[in-house]
Amino acid sequence: MYLVAGARGNVGSEVVRALAEQGAEVRALSRGGELSGLPPRATAVAGDLDVPASLAGPLAGVDGVFLLPGYRDMPGLLAQVVRAGVTRVALLSGRSAASGDMGNAVTAYMVRSEEAVRAAGIPWTVVRPSAFTANALRWLPQLRTGDVVRGPFADVPVACIDPYDVGEVVADTLLGDGHEGKVYELSGPEPLLPGEQVAVLGDVLDRPLRFEGLDDATARAEMAAAMPEEYVDAFFDFYRGGALDESPVLSTVYDITGREPRTFEQWAQAHADAFAA
Ligand SMILES: NC(=O)c1ccc[n+]([C@@H]2O[C@H](COP(=O)([O-])OP(=O)(O)OC[C@H]3O[C@@H](n4cnc5c(N)ncnc54)[C@H](OP(=O)(O)O)[C@@H]3O)[C@@H](O)[C@H]2O)c1
């Protein structure tokens, strides 16, 4: 039995799918506890990652857990996992954790989460993906009202990864052998600029989509409306300060799954319905 956090989200839903496809029984965790469209062998359970005690029931009888980073009390969360007798943990982190720069708020929460997992005393695997193809879903509000996507960091290429591939890797690390104590950095198959992603999406949706880069001051203001200031600073440190380069293509997805990671075009085709809504 496997407990999957964030099961409504981009990555967690793919971890649920991948584990179930490999024949595992899965508990799909969300705060509300009700999820539609789960695969056979998966059941919805309720719990709050900010309240470790709320996971006591969902963790009962569980062999392996998939966790997201950055919750209020990661050591307490891991203590709850260990108390339940879980024997394997996979943690989602991010590429920036490699720098260990605790002055960057995003890196810091990834690093602290990784430290909690390493200190728990049970076999662990950390997965550090690059930015997700699914971040393009953030363009939905703009695409409902027109064909122009305005966004930050127009000149920054990212080999973004499909959450599908993160799910495949996580399932393999939880179900297979040889992944204990490993930190896997993951990328997609091609570095793309935001404008190139928008062009691919336009081709898939058969719409004349166009990207307009925001100047940094406007980008800062718009990002600050959507996230805490320290995270805005973190992303400017990544992409303007040069603290993070997510353009290199890594072979990890292929090395672990035996399959090339999906392209942005494949992600767009699989999620075209979301953009039609
Ligand atoms: N976006 C990127 O490019 C990127 C890159 C590398 C790493 N990451 C990391 O990956 C994480 C997951 O990304 P994602 O795109 O899959 O996120 P997402 O789609 O926003 O899903 C996160 C899920 O977590 C659940 N959740 C939130 N707070 C919770 C809580 N207190 N207790 C239990 N569940 C809670 C939410 O489900 P309910 O509302 O149903 O509870 C939500 O569905 C990010 O948070 C980030 O740390 C992201």
Residues whose CB falls within 8 Å of the CB of residue 102, separated by 6 or more in sequence, listed in order: 108, 111
Q: Which of 132, 140, 183, 239 is the pocket-test mutation for ligand 1 (most atoms within 8 Å of CB)? A: 132
Which residue intervals of the chain are DSSP H helices?
A: 10-21, 56-59, 74-83, 105-119, 140-145, 163-175, 194-205, 216-224, 229-239, 252-257, 264-270, 272-276
- The tens digit of pLDDT for each residue in 100-148 reads 999 999 999 999 999 999 999 999 999 999 999 999 999 999 999 999 9
Mutation test of ligand 1: which of 3, 10, 158, 227 has the most ligand atoms closer than 8 Å to its C-beta? 10
Query: DSSP per residue over 130-164, as a string?
Result: -SBGGGGGGGHHHHHH-SEEEES-TT--B--B-HH
pLDDT band of 276, cuts 50, 70, 90: confident
* Cα 212 to middle of ligand 1, angstroms: 27
Dihedral sign computed on CA atoms, order 15, 17, 20, 21: negative
Looking at residue 98, what is its pLDDT? 97
Q: What is the pLDDT of residue 238?
A: 98
User: Is residue 190 within 8 Å of residue 159, measured between CB atoms?
Assistant: yes
Residue 193 · residue 155 · CB < 8 Å: yes
Which band of pLDDT confidence, cut at 50, 70 and 90, is reported for residue 164?
very high
Domain boundaries, the chain: 2-130+163-186+249-261
Burial of 253 (C-beta count, 10 Å sphere; 0-12/13-18/19+): buried
Q: Whose CA is nearest to atom 11 of ligand 1?
A: 68
The tokens 């999406």 sit on which residue?
201
pLDDT at 277 over 80: no
Rounded Cα gap, residues 14 and 189, in angstroms: 18
55, 60, 61, 67: CA torsion to nearest 10: 10
> Under a CB-based contact definition with an 8 Å cutoff, are residues 157 and 247 in contact?
yes
For residues 161 and 81, the answer to whether their CB atoms sit within 8 Å is: no
Fold designation for 2-130+163-186+249-261: Rossmann fold (3.40.50)
Specify the DSSP class assigned to residue 252.
H
Ligand 1 mean position, distance from CA 57 (Å): 21
Query: What distance in angstroms lies between residue 6's CA and the mean position of ligand 1's atoms?
Result: 5
Q: Give the model confidence (pLDDT) of 197-220 as tens digits.
A: 999 999 999 999 999 999 999 999
